[in-house]
Chain A
Amino acid sequence: MTSRRPQTLTTHLIRAGFADLTRSATLWNDPDLVAVCDGQADEPLPVGPDGRAVVLSDRAGALLARLGDTADPDLALLQLTRLAGASPDLLRKVLADDGPGEPADVGVQATPVPTRRLLRVLGASSALGDELVRRPQLLDVLTDPAPGTGVPPQDVRAELLRAVDADPDADVPVAGQEAASADPSSPSSVLDGSSGSAAGEGLVPQPSPSAHPSSPSYSDRLRRAYRARLLRIAATDVTAPVATAAMPAVGAALADLAGAALEAALAVARFETPGHEAVRLAVIGMGKTGGRELNYVSDVDVIYVAEPAAAPDGEPGDEDHALRVGTRLATALARVCSGTSDEPRLWEVDAALRPEGKQGPLVRTLASHVAYYERWASTWEFQALLKARPVAGDRALGDAYVAALSPMVWQAASREHFVEDARAMRKRVEDNVPPAEAPRQIKLGRGGLRDVEFTVQLLQLVHGRTDESIRSATTLDALAALAAGGYVGRAETGQMTECYAFLRALEHRVQMFGLRRTHLLPTDDADLRRLARGLGMPGGDELTKRWKAVRREVRDLHEALFYRPLLPATAGLSEDEISLAPEAAMARFAAIGYRNPAGAMRHVEALTEGVSRRAAIQRQLLPVLLGWFADGADPDAGLLGFRKVSDMLGSTHWYLRLLRDSEVAAERLAQVLSSSSYLADALARSPESVKWLGRPEALEPLGAERLAAEMDAVLSRAEEPAPAAQTLRALRRRELARTGVAEILGELGPVSAARAISDAADVVLGGALRVARAEARDAAGIPAGAEPAILLVVAMGRLGGQEMGYGSDADVMFVHTPAAGAEEREASEFALAVARELRQLLSAVGPEPPLPVDADLRPEGRNGPLVRSFASYQEYYERWSSPWEAQALLRARPLGKWAPAGGASGPEAWLADRFKGLVDPLRYPAGGLGDDVVREVRRIKARVEAERLPRGVDPARHLKLGRGGVSDVEWTVQLLQLQHAHEVPGLRTTGTIPALYAARDAGLMSEQDAAELREAWFLASRLRSAIVLWSGKTTGAQVDRLPHGGQDLAGVAAVLGDVGTGPELEELYLRTARRARAVMERLFYGEE
């Protein structure tokens, strides 16, 4: 309320909401403005100088309040002053229309009155204000009480046709017909600025303004009429009580106006094109024009259809000729709308959505359109076609077009690559934002307008096939229909509608300001303030906050709309939640990539039914999870795996809490389950491992020492040997799962993963050895501490090199020596009993996965004794040692007391030292290898290549034994070890990669060669792991083979994550292996 205290002008301005006080104070006292207002008021406007108290008259107060009621009072005042200068009389008329005596503090009124319409427009749109200053006669539009929205489209069409002197009632309206312009009530005579059109004076109208300077061309007259109508729509828009509520009507009015403009432009084009009668041309509106939800400024998307017109004798006309004329008409139409002219252009007429895009012909026959969509169109083109609506030209042809093509739109979801296409389309929606614009984009990106439209259209494509009621081209109508049809939840629909209307209203106001095509939220404070006030918010901060909230909400709503209705009715949904009918649910599952929708529905039903807390939480979570599974390589497996885990863990409180509280854990769970059968199985069997997903640090390998401590504790509690062994095997299974999860989530590299798997095997072997010794003692009646033999397990092969994979066996050799005072034979028998028991414990059938213990690398292989005494080894190696045994010994690593050998003390450590003392001279021979031995090693390798490779396998694709596979790299490194380990200490290692680096550092191979070999070994090792993780099979021929195309290759590529698509992975592996093979042939076979 006005204070009784006298106020300065500045205070009045501040109170009214002005920002630039100095300039506005000057403007307020502008002589032109004062003159306009003086002319009709009893008292002059107060012109008191700054700083002195002034009392506003009621009139002045009302005007000031009206200005304050606009989006931008400063702008409104500035434009008002300019108008006062440009056309004082017309302005006076507008202001006079206002009833006097209204209270000064009334901001909003029930009915728009001219002053309010004028000021609101001036405050919201600088461009429309400029237009008013340029052509003050447009002020008449504001005094006309007719609203801009809700006008029948045919009225708008008639108005624009009359503006170009075309007869709206004609079947084929052509510009320049005198009859139309003779009508004195025609708005064109008012709006084109000349009293009486050129045609009315009996002159032939000239389309070119230069030819007839005094009279505007038809193109200009069309553009003027368009702008007058645009001003009317804007006036209705800015005076609407709630901008978001008015949005749909505004969008429809703008689309109708665009359609009318296209019709009038076509009339002008016909006027300019002799012989136009040869063609029937229909203009199909696409995009937002087709959807009757247009922006203020946006390209108008169209498609043209043409047919030959029947000749006067009824014969069908020539098609080629018709297409040529049609193309000329379409080209002329575009020029009328957006060519260079005296009046600003309307918008670009964009025909890029037509068949074949910009390469295709501009105009096609209906049959040609149909043929294209039947054979060539891609999914996105059908999505675009959903919006098609005849907007101008030959109505019957336009209707025929829609009738012929729309059935195809609704078959699009059953097309072959629909799922992939839809996914790619969604990705385009999300990704297509330049990073610099991302924080300001209203239209693109996640949470933008496109996101809403895409969600709605995808739902329409999926369900519109069987339900005609949801086929509306208008986004909000479609959304409402989807809700009414039970395809999306009502509550979510309400929220989505609100968000969409807000974003659209925001976009409208951003564009209206400068009448420019932009979808970016401005950054300038003044701009933001204007937008906020225009949308009924106090200031820019509130606007930005609301905008961000809306974007977030839209992102979540996609999930809610798309996935939540997939929950079955049995899920005990609340009242505003809906459940899809089974057929609709199947369609939707199939559309997002589930290969077995019926199975998916059963799983979802099982997961959500009932009143348990688990079901309640899963109801919340599943909609999101279903989307995440769909992003994975195998959605069905993901869902199945989730159900298994859930059946196992459903009642444990931590599991539910984890899923509810940790979005990261849930997403990781979905990722693991939908890309790895191996882990889906592992997680189902070892449910506690699900916990790791919530804690990244839990995915780090425990390390041999912590595992050993755990094993110690397990064995101390155990009483029976068989259960103890199962516990040990379970421990290993858990560690395999941990490693797999870490690998698939990209937390662990291939070397660390192999090390973790090997550590687990070390510890399990150590534990099993302890159990086996106790068993053997019991069987022989030997008391603890009186064992007749010291027994050593020597790790060989990949176990020795600490490079095991998920399916590797444990290669070992057993060494014993009699304990002090024990008989040789007694010791030998005891050692054999222990070794047998050990193998039995780890390989016996049982619930936990076995660790097959393989002793084939021992002297004499399978023909030799399983266990030998140290003395026997000594004797054997002195007499027989062959090159391949020396080579195998390179990987020999005695397993100490579950800790690396040398770190422990005691008899085993002593024996380990002696054993190393025995084999070191063999594997690191002094002086290297003689030529004959080198030759022998090469010969063995050549034989292995020829004989070991399974028949029918392409050598280039075998990851282990193939060209450039792991075995090529290892043999190369091992030969260098045998040759040079005596002089290069770094080569005395059981690991392939450490030995490779040592060889490189010692100059035994070039940096380049070492890099090629390492790449090949890494990639082949990673592939072997990935194949196990993807397929869930640890044994069998396919484990070592690069899959042949299709889903397996794609799945393996997805597990690896950083190698591109399946075919790219294939090319990468073949290339890497080929290069490694070339290095190997040079370094190993000595070929130059």
Chain B
Amino acid sequence: MAPMDRQQEFVLRTVEERDIRFIRLWFTDVLGVLKSVAVAPAELESAFTEGIGFDGSAIEGLTRVYEADMVARPDPTTFQVLPWRGERHGTGRMFCDILTPDGEPSLADSRNVLKRQLARSAEEGFTFYTHPEVEFYLFNQPKSAGEPLVPVDDGGYFDHLARGSTHDFRRAAITMLESMGISVEFSHHEAGPGQNEIDLRYADALTTADNLMTFRTVVKEVALEQGVYASFMPKPLATHPGSGMHTHMSLFEDDRNAFHEPGAQFELSKTARQFISGLMVHAGEITAITNQHVNSYKRLWGGQEAPSYISWGHNNRSALVRVPMYKPGKGNSSRVEYRALDSAANPYLAFAVLLAAGMKGIEEGYDLIEHTEDAVWDLTSAERRSLGIKPLPRNLSEAIEAMEQSELVAATLGEHVFQYVLSNKRQEWDAYSAQVTPFELERFLQVL
């Protein structure tokens, strides 16, 4: 904790200078839902030194770890003023680490799960960078849950809509993100009506995960301001593409991109190949984390938009792991893209398991299977079998079963989070399976 005091002084000074009245302390529960505790500026100093105590038993995944008492200690490097709370008497926010009353990192803190995994790969000399492309939908606010969803527009991929509300929306959202220090790489209209994509600039994985949590909040806030509704649900519309979160990943050794090797096939180093094979070998086990909801599988298996099969390829949009086209002279931009991840994942846990899977490939020196140039969707199942291409789990239940067997995921999440996620996901699956859906009523009620 020592190297923080300048940041901490900065925070205290900023709060004073900008007359900030509340500071929200943010943390993320095991399911990836943002939680917030507000403190007054007067309490901030003691929050830095001692943390803020709270009752963890009401928070998903924090129950029964230790006694319910928990301590949230803000990380001053993450301080930002929340722009939508107005310039005067503003509100600031910081992400927190969750500690036990003894001051040990809590086993149930997903931010700590990622920190631990990052520390492990740092021991091997690697820094992990990620660059997510977040997709989401904008709807004209549905009045109630039963009503049909009405997207805000009818645009398509990269469409520029004159006076399009999504255009305004993106501009407002990006301005707000930038004002919070989150750099946006790229933004455009996506394939579905009302669907948008905003790409965050690459950063180390912890920062990216923090940024994603902020991002989701900002997007929802801006949408509300504009009278619309934003959703990161993986597949809200059956007939339109789902919202994924393709994530580009790279490992750096000091300042050098460890994935890059000039002259090698696709300019990919051995490290990169082993990392990819790690992702492929463990893809099934980590799917319950990268695609955590029953709805996620509607996107994964919803047709030719998301990777349903475990394969990799160079610029192959049907592959689970894609190696983007290499731009000559940009050795440091070598990266691999994992395309299964969706926008509803807990980014801390998702990045942790992706990194763990890739690192496992490097540690064990896995061999890489051949890359695929065909669109995997178009192959027959016999062809896929002969090529050794396996499917991802078809639903949450299969994903849970695969994860249950996984030592890799258990070691990465720690036993507590591992068990918690399993039992929570089993409950979700059970509740889902108990539904009688409109599909069933429509198809069977009268016929049978």
Verify A376–B107 contact, CB threshold 8 A.
Answer: no
Interface residue total, chain A, C-beta cutoff 8 A = 27
In the complex the two chains form, what is the Cα distance from A377 to B1 in whole Å? 9
- Asked if B163 is at the interface (CB within 8 A of a chain A CB), the reply is no
Chain B residues lying within 8 Å of A359, measured Cβ to Cβ, are 3
The residue of chain A having its C-beta at the shortest distance from the C-beta of B64 within the complex is A954
Contact with B along A358-401 (1 / 0, CB 8 A): 01110000001001100111100000000000000000000000
Beyond A371-B9, A1070-B419, whether A360 also contacts B102 by CB under 8 A is no
Distance of B103 from chain A, by nearest CB (Å): 8
- Asked if B167 is at the interface (CB within 8 A of a chain A CB), the reply is no
In the complex the two chains form, what is the Cα distance from A956 to B410 in whole Å? 14
Chain A residues lying within 8 Å of B415, measured Cβ to Cβ, are 956, 1066-1067, 1070-1071, 1074
- Asked if B4 is at the interface (CB within 8 A of a chain A CB), the reply is yes
In the complex the two chains form, what is the Cα distance from A372 to B48 in whole Å? 12
Verify A1045–B102 contact, CB threshold 8 A.
Answer: yes
Verify B5–A376 contact, CB threshold 8 A.
Answer: yes
Distance of B51 from chain A, by nearest CB (Å): 13
Distance of A385 from chain B, by nearest CB (Å): 14
- Asked if B437 is at the interface (CB within 8 A of a chain A CB), the reply is no
- Asked if A913 is at the interface (CB within 8 A of a chain B CB), the reply is no
Q: Which of A371, A376, A1045, A1063 contacts B1 (CB 8 A)?
A: A376
Verify B2–A378 contact, CB threshold 8 A.
Answer: yes
Which parts of A463-487 form the interface with B (CB within 8 Å)? none
In the complex the two chains form, what is the Cα distance from A137 to B404 in whole Å? 82
Q: Which of A360, A375, A417, A1063 contacts B107 (CB 8 A)?
A: A1063
- Asked if B66 is at the interface (CB within 8 A of a chain A CB), the reply is yes
The residue of chain B having its C-beta at the shortest distance from the C-beta of A1070 within the complex is B415
In the complex the two chains form, what is the Cα distance from A377 to B66 in whole Å? 28
- Asked if A694 is at the interface (CB within 8 A of a chain B CB), the reply is no
Contact with B along A935-959 (1 / 0, CB 8 A): 0000000000000000000101000
Interface size of B as a range: 20 to 34
Verify A357–B66 contact, CB threshold 8 A.
Answer: no
Distance of B9 from chain A, by nearest CB (Å): 6
Which parts of A1037-1088 form the interface with B (CB within 8 Å)? 1044-1046, 1063, 1066-1067, 1070-1071, 1074-1075, 1078
- Asked if B220 is at the interface (CB within 8 A of a chain A CB), the reply is no
Chain B residues lying within 8 Å of A1071, measured Cβ to Cβ, are 410-411, 415
Q: Which of B5, B9, B66 contacts A356 (CB 8 A)?
A: B5
The residue of chain B having its C-beta at the shortest distance from the C-beta of A1063 within the complex is B104
Chain B residues lying within 8 Å of A1074, measured Cβ to Cβ, are 410, 415, 418-419
Contact with A along B192-216 (1 / 0, CB 8 A): 0000000000000000000000000
The residue of chain B having its C-beta at the shortest distance from the C-beta of A1081 within the complex is B404
Contact with A along B74-87 (1 / 0, CB 8 A): 00000000000000
In the complex the two chains form, what is the Cα distance from A1044 to B101 in whole Å? 12
Distance of B250 from chain A, by nearest CB (Å): 25
Chain A residues lying within 8 Å of B411, measured Cβ to Cβ, are 1071
Distance of A896 from chain B, by nearest CB (Å): 45
Chain B residues lying within 8 Å of A1044, measured Cβ to Cβ, are 66-67
Contact with A along B100-133 (1 / 0, CB 8 A): 1011100100000000000000000000000000
Beyond A375-B49, A956-B419, whether A355 also contacts B414 by CB under 8 A is no
Beyond A1071-B415, A1074-B410, whether A371 also contacts B66 by CB under 8 A is no
Chain B residues lying within 8 Å of A372, measured Cβ to Cβ, are 5
- Asked if B265 is at the interface (CB within 8 A of a chain A CB), the reply is no
Verify A360–B64 contact, CB threshold 8 A.
Answer: no
Which parts of B406-435 form the interface with A (CB within 8 Å)? 407, 410-411, 414-416, 418-419
Chain B residues lying within 8 Å of A1067, measured Cβ to Cβ, are 107, 414-415
Chain A residues lying within 8 Å of B2, measured Cβ to Cβ, are 355-357, 376-378
- Grouping DSSP codes into helix (H, G, I), strand (E, B) and loop, the B interface class, with mixed when no group exceeds half, is helix
Which parts of B275-307 form the interface with A (CB within 8 Å)? none
Chain B residues lying within 8 Å of A376, measured Cβ to Cβ, are 1-2, 4-5
- Asked if B405 is at the interface (CB within 8 A of a chain A CB), the reply is yes
Beyond A956-B419, A1045-B66, A1067-B414, whether A375 also contacts B48 by CB under 8 A is yes
The residue of chain A having its C-beta at the shortest distance from the C-beta of B8 within the complex is A375
Q: Which of A355, A954, A956 contacts B5 (CB 8 A)?
A: A355
The residue of chain B having its C-beta at the shortest distance from the C-beta of A377 within the complex is B2
Chain A residues lying within 8 Å of B67, measured Cβ to Cβ, are 1044-1045
In the complex the two chains form, what is the Cα distance from A534 to B109 in whole Å? 62
Distance of B364 from chain A, by nearest CB (Å): 18
In the complex the two chains form, what is the Cα distance from A956 to B64 in whole Å? 11
Chain A residues lying within 8 Å of B64, measured Cβ to Cβ, are 954
Chain A residues lying within 8 Å of B5, measured Cβ to Cβ, are 355-356, 368, 371-372, 375-376
Which parts of B1-18 form the interface with A (CB within 8 Å)? 1-6, 8-9
In the complex the two chains form, what is the Cα distance from A372 to B4 in whole Å? 9
Distance of B79 from chain A, by nearest CB (Å): 16
Chain B residues lying within 8 Å of A377, measured Cβ to Cβ, are 2
Chain B residues lying within 8 Å of A1063, measured Cβ to Cβ, are 104, 107
In the complex the two chains form, what is the Cα distance from A361 to B103 in whole Å? 28
The residue of chain A having its C-beta at the shortest distance from the C-beta of B419 within the complex is A956
Chain B residues lying within 8 Å of A954, measured Cβ to Cβ, are 64
Distance of A646 from chain B, by nearest CB (Å): 34
Distance of A595 from chain B, by nearest CB (Å): 15
Contact with A along B30-56 (1 / 0, CB 8 A): 000000000000000000110000000
In the complex the two chains form, what is the Cα distance from A962 to B32 in whole Å? 29
In the complex the two chains form, what is the Cα distance from A1071 to B414 in whole Å? 9
In the complex the two chains form, what is the Cα distance from A372 to B414 in whole Å? 34
In the complex the two chains form, what is the Cα distance from A1044 to B65 in whole Å? 8
Q: Which of A356, A1046, A1078 contacts B405 (CB 8 A)?
A: A1078
In the complex the two chains form, what is the Cα distance from A375 to B8 in whole Å? 10
Verify B4–A1046 contact, CB threshold 8 A.
Answer: no
Distance of A333 from chain B, by nearest CB (Å): 23
Verify B416–A356 contact, CB threshold 8 A.
Answer: no
Chain A residues lying within 8 Å of B49, measured Cβ to Cβ, are 375
In the complex the two chains form, what is the Cα distance from A41 to B48 in whole Å? 80
Distance of B400 from chain A, by nearest CB (Å): 14
In the complex the two chains form, what is the Cα distance from A361 to B9 in whole Å? 14
In the complex the two chains form, what is the Cα distance from A359 to B6 in whole Å? 11
Distance of B365 from chain A, by nearest CB (Å): 22
Which parts of A324-361 form the interface with B (CB within 8 Å)? 355-357, 359-361
Given A371-B9, A1063-B107: 19 more A-B contacts, CB < 8 Å: A359-B3, A360-B3, A361-B6, A368-B9, A372-B5, A376-B2, A376-B4, A378-B2, A956-B415, A956-B419, A1044-B67, A1045-B67, A1045-B100, A1066-B107, A1067-B107, A1070-B419, A1074-B415, A1078-B404, A1078-B405
Closest A-B pairs by Cβ, 5 of them = A1070-B415, A1045-B66, A356-B3, A376-B5, A359-B3
What are 11 A-B contacts with C-beta separation under 8 Å? A361-B6, A368-B5, A375-B8, A376-B4, A954-B64, A1046-B66, A1046-B102, A1066-B107, A1067-B414, A1070-B419, A1078-B404
